[in-house]
Amino acid sequence: MSDNTIEAVEATIAELKPGMKSVNITFKVMNTSDERSVDSRKTGETYRVVDAQVGDSTGIILMPIWNETIETIKVGETYTLTNGYTGLFKGNLRLQLGKFGSIASAEAPIDEVNSEVDMSAEDHGSRQR
């Protein structure tokens, strides 16, 4: 028995909370921000990022999409995120792909998205300060 094994969590967007790991979730890409560059404080490397607003029948959330993954994501398409996680950025919840996660086209499209429940709009507070 290994302590490193985290059981995958099948979730909807409305069920997401800060600090969740190994999240499997299906969502539709509603829109994306303009691409911007971010410089790593550790390595000095420059990375590309867009913020995608993704949703399902329970709500919407922001998800940063990095580097070469940007070209694989299309607005209006439905994807399944495997082994993602949630985090906070400036006190707001974000769905994260991370280096161990993967995104693939979903088997079935999502037609209805509940944009009334915005999980990224809720301020979860920043405990760093």
* Structural domains of the chain, with CATH: 9-105 (2.40.50.140)
pLDDT of 4 reads 58
pLDDT of 73 reads 96
In Å, how far from its chain's centre is CA 21? 12
Structure-token pair, residue 118: 């915005």
Q: 13 in helix, strand or coil?
A: helix
pLDDT of 6 reads 72
pLDDT of 129 reads 33
DSSP letters of 57-122? TTEEEEEEEEGGGGGG--TT-EEEEEEEEEEEETTEEEEE-TTT-EEEE-SS------TT-BTTTS
Cα–Cα nearest to 88, from 117, 128, 58: 128
Per-residue pLDDT in tens (0 to 9) along the chain, 129 residues: 445 567 889 999 999 999 999 999 999 999 999 999 999 999 999 999 999 999 999 999 999 999 999 999 999 999 999 999 999 999 999 999 998 999 999 999 999 999 999 999 977 765 443
